[in-house]
Amino acid sequence: MSSQATPIPMSARKSGPLKGTAAVPGDKSISHRALIFGAMAVGETRISGLLEGEDVLDTAKAMQALGASVVRSGAGEWVVNGVGVGGFTEPENVIDCGNSGTGVRLIMGAVATYDFCTTFTGDGSLRKRPMARVTDPLALFGTRSVGRSGGRLPLTLIGAAEPVPVEYETPVPSAQVKSAVLLAGLNAPGQTVVIEKEMTRDHTERMLKGFGAEITTETTPEGYHKITLTGRPELTPQEVAVPRDPSSAAFPVCAALIIEGSDIIVPGVSQNSTRNGLYTTLVEMGAQIEFQNEREEGGEPVADLRVRASKLKGIEVPPERAASMIDEYPILSVVAAYAEGTTVMRGVKELRVKESDRIDAMARGLEACGVQIEEDEDTLIVHGLGPNGVKGGATCVTHLDHRIAMSFLILGMASQEPVAVDDGAPIATSFPIFENLMTGLGADVTRDN
């Protein structure tokens, strides 16, 4: 999102029942990667189902700035003419990644092993987020960086002229850090190795294999996930069909669960085990979700979900599940508010460094709407009020965070009084059709200016 974007106040009122089909847009993580790997392949990659949200469009612009041709040929259809590994050229201007942590961190990795300089910036949210988690491992390749205090954007990377391969154990569970190191390893000689204690989303590994890189994954005797990539491959262009985004699907799914009488279909939701922790959790809470037509789409296991309004109970979410549902805790905390009993979410401190401090943002907004919560650095606990138990009647602050904005609007679709958000503009970063899609299902959500 550009830092000049005008805020869009929005609100939602008691809605429903929700009925119909919720066809959510393409997966954000896979869309970024399809553009980046397409730009690093030799020749023409065709992408269908690309998420045309602001985050991904910023990555498309960045690939153009690095010398690739990126052209839209239809709705969600894009053609990338890549320059090959080693073929990027120094960008003439600052790369603005808007709101996107994934965009900036992956592209930092992609340019880290080139003998040129790249300066990155972003919007007010991205400029607050920690980048040392990426620049530290990139320094092992020989890359230098100069940023603001705490390694924050704007930041300039001076790429390694003679990169060396790296072995790196990620100190935090982060697919962005893992991917940045692998992307840097593409233009380094020899083998680059990443070890993660807890496995995070594996789209980079899957897609690199698809583009023809030599990459292996194994489980170490300690149970860690080890990835070995051979540098300087020739990547071959692909046809990439982007599956729908399970993190976006979470919003209509959770809305249907808490709005009385709802019965919807959400087609093509990823069942990739590195992404589906929310769905496992919802079923444990008593959600009526049927997983129909299980199949493969764009190299990912997917299913059509039939979701009906359900009587839910609070549960303890296992901390080891956090990586597979890290973006879904805000909407889970909304569902928890409508469950009977307490939902305990531990091991979630990574939420504090997302587009906003999501523990704080959810805690403050839920409290303002009459929900009792407890929190510490690594934990969020929500005391459920049961169906019809949430008062609402507050304006929640979204801190330039799309998932916080969507979560509070869903809260308002089942609360006694309407719930407003100060700014729904960031929703366009990941789910530009959110408002139309939810209205089409029967939700009462409006813009208020």
- The rounded distance, in Å, linking the Cα atoms of 77 and 60 is 13
Q: How far apart are CA 404 and CA 68, in angstroms?
A: 34
Phi/psi at 231 (5° precision): -70, 165
- Is 423 a binding residue for ligand S3P by CB under 6 A? The answer is no
Interface characters, 130-149, with ligand S3P (x: CB under 6 A): --------------------
Residue 27 C-beta: closest distance to ligand S3P, Å: 9
> Going residue by residue from 312 to 331, which x/- string records binding to ligand S3P, judged by CB under 6 A?
--------------xx----
Q: Does 240 bind ligand S3P (CB under 6 A)?
A: no
In this structure, what is the dihedral angle of CA atoms 343, 347, 352, 357, given to the nearest 10 degrees?
Answer: 0
Is 202 among the catalytic positions?
no
373 lines the binding site for ligand S3P (CB under 6 A): no
Tell me if 29 contacts ligand S3P by CB under 6 A: yes
Task: Compare residues 29 and 310 and give the one whose CB is closer to ligand S3P.
Answer: 29
- Rounded to the nearest 10 degrees, the angle between the axes of helix 402-412 and helix 329-337 is 20
Out of 174, 187, 192, 398, the only residue in the binding site for ligand S3P (CB under 6 A) is 174
Smallest gap from Cβ 350 to ligand S3P, in A, equals 6
Question: Shortest distance, CB of residue 76 to ligand S3P, whole angstroms?
Answer: 18
Q: How far is the CB of 130 from ligand S3P (least distance, A)?
A: 10
The reply on whether position 179 binds ligand S3P by CB under 6 A is yes
What is the footprint of ligand S3P within residues 98-117 (CB under 6 A)? 102
Going 330 to 275 to 104 to 113, the CA torsion angle's sign is: positive
292: Cβ–Cβ under 8 A, 6 or more apart, which residues? 303, 304, 305, 306
Q: Considering only CA atoms, which of 64, 135, 140, 130 is closest in space to residue 101?
A: 130
Contact at 8 Å (CB) between 285 and 312? Answer: yes
Which among 96, 327, 401, 423 is annotated as catalytic? 327
Is residue 125 involved in binding ligand S3P (CB under 6 A)?
A: no
Distance in angstroms (rounded) separating the CA atoms of residues 329 and 360: 12
Tell me 323's DSSP state: G
SS3 61: helix
In this chain, which stretch among 137-145, 170-178, 231-239, 421-429 interacts with ligand S3P, using CB under 6 A? 170-178
The pair of three-digit structure tokens given for residue 440, joined into one six-digit string: 């089409």
Q: Which of 41, 66, 175, 256 binds ligand S3P (CB under 6 A)?
A: 175
Which residues are tagged catalytic?
327
Residues of this chain that bind ligand S3P (CB under 6 A) = 29, 102, 174-176, 179, 201, 326-327, 350
